[in-house]
């Protein structure tokens, strides 16, 4: 069995003169939670739709579970939540899933199992229209889990959820991946992707800008140093770690040094600084957030203005 669950090669989609997805080549491996991250309009949904066989690529191709997207053997092994699922408001969550199970020629027994997995069993008899948004989203994941698929594709599964609902959803996705299923989710929320995903693909303007683990994308850690006097500290830090490895960072009237080095340099740095008569107020390691990484890659902030998320 191959360990590559999804592979796209130069996958592109053009709508009129707009290239919605521009030569995206990504790889999703078995058992991981893969985050497809980008601002609204970046091309996430279109890419996921091509991976699901719902949209035909203009050029390039996708291979899913070793086969063409949308082919019957692949469809049977993929569960998806792309755009709101069509649930009947007046039926209970359980009955909605029963309808879907029948539609997929699955027997009813799996219904309670998936309700259990999304922690909705005790509320399975309630009408869908009475569910909170978080419960509705979890029911959507339950529907995608029917038939025990190898791959779960979720478009913005936490969109619109409150922090508690997001935390529930994250825990659910980690649990799904721990059970051996592969999860691909899209999101425009960096913090969320940072917390839950093993690997991330960053997309903007239809192009895949980077792909890797969160740690790889953030790059090496740095040491943040608050010391006085700063100019003497700068000279010492440059002597210890090289001229190019030190920069002055300005923040709220409290300038500090950022030294591009790992935590193993902190003892030597502080020793030399103190030896040179510098007062060391703080020395700690810092990692770039994905937000900073995104900014460095695109020159534009990732965060959307409030209310612009769909």
Ligand X SMILES: Nc1ncnc2c1ncn2[C@@H]1O[C@H](COP(=O)(O)OP(=O)(O)OP(=O)(O)O)[C@@H](O)[C@H]1O
Q: Does residue number 38 form part of the binding site for ligand X (CB under 6 A)?
A: yes
| C-beta neighbour count of 107 within 10 angstroms | 9
Residues 16-35 that bind ligand X (CB under 6 A): 18, 20
Angle at 223 between CA 217 and CA 226, to 5 degrees: 140
- Binder to ligand X among 5, 11, 12, 45 (CB under 6 A)? 45
Report the SS3 class of residue 2.
Answer: coil
Closest separation between CB of residue 39 and ligand X, Å?
A: 7
Contacts 24+ apart (CB under 8 A), 249-256: 249/224, 254/226, 255/230, 256/224, 256/225, 256/226, 256/227, 256/230, 256/282
Nearer to ligand X, 191 or 274 (CB): 191
Report the SS3 class of residue 5.
Answer: strand
Residues 185-204 that bind ligand X (CB under 6 A): 188
- Binder to ligand X among 35, 43, 110, 157 (CB under 6 A)? 43
Q: Does residue number 205 form part of the binding site for ligand X (CB under 6 A)?
A: no
Q: Does residue number 40 form part of the binding site for ligand X (CB under 6 A)?
A: yes
Closest separation between CB of residue 52 and ligand X, Å?
A: 13
Helix (H) or strand (E) holding 200: strand 199-204
Nearer to ligand X, 18 or 250 (CB): 18
Q: Does residue number 158 form part of the binding site for ligand X (CB under 6 A)?
A: no
Q: Does residue number 44 form part of the binding site for ligand X (CB under 6 A)?
A: yes
Q: What is the CA radius of gyration of the chain?
A: 24
| C-beta neighbour count of 146 within 10 angstroms | 19
Q: Which residues bind ligand X (CB under 6 A)?
A: 15, 18, 20, 38, 40-46, 188, 310
């Amino acid at each position: 069995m191959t360990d590559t669950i999804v592979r796209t090669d130069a996958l592109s989609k053009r709508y009129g003169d707009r290239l919605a997805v521009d030569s995206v080549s990504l790889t999703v491996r078995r058992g991981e939670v893969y985050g497809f991250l980008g601002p609204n309009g970046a091309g996430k949904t279109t890419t996921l739709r091509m991976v699901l066989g719902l949209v035909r690529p203009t050029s390039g191709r996708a291979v899913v579970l070793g086969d063409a997207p949308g082919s019957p053997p692949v469809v049977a092994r993929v569960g998806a939540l792309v755009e709101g699922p069509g649930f009947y408001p007046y039926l209970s969550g359980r009955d909605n899933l029963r309808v879907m199970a029948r539609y997929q020629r699955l027997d009813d027994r799996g219904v309670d199992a998936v309700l259990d997995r999304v922690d909705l069993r005790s509320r399975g008899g309630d009408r869908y229209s009475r569910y909170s948004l978080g419960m509705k989203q979890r029911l959507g994941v339950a529907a995608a889990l029917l038939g025990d698929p190898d791959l779960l594709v979720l478009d913005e599964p936490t969109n619109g959820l409150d922090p508690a609902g997001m935390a529930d959803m994250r825990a659910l996705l980690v649990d799904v991946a721990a059970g051996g299923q592969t999860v691909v989710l899209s999101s425009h929320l960096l913090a969320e992707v940072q917390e839950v995903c093993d690997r991330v693909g960053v997309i903007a303007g239809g192009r895949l800008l980077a792909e890797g683990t969160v740690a790889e994308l953030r790059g090496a850690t740095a040491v943040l140093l608050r010391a006085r006097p700063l100019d003497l500290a700068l000279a010492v830090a440059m002597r210890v770690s090289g001229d190019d490895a030190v920069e002055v960072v300005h923040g709220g009237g409290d300038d500090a040094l950022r030294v591009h080095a790992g935590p193993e340099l902190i003892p030597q740095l502080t020793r030399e600084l103190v030896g040179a008569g510098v007062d060391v107020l703080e020395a700690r390691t810092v990692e770039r957030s994905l937000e900073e990484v995104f900014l460095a890659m695109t020159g534009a902030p990732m965060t959307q203005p409030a209310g612009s998320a769909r």
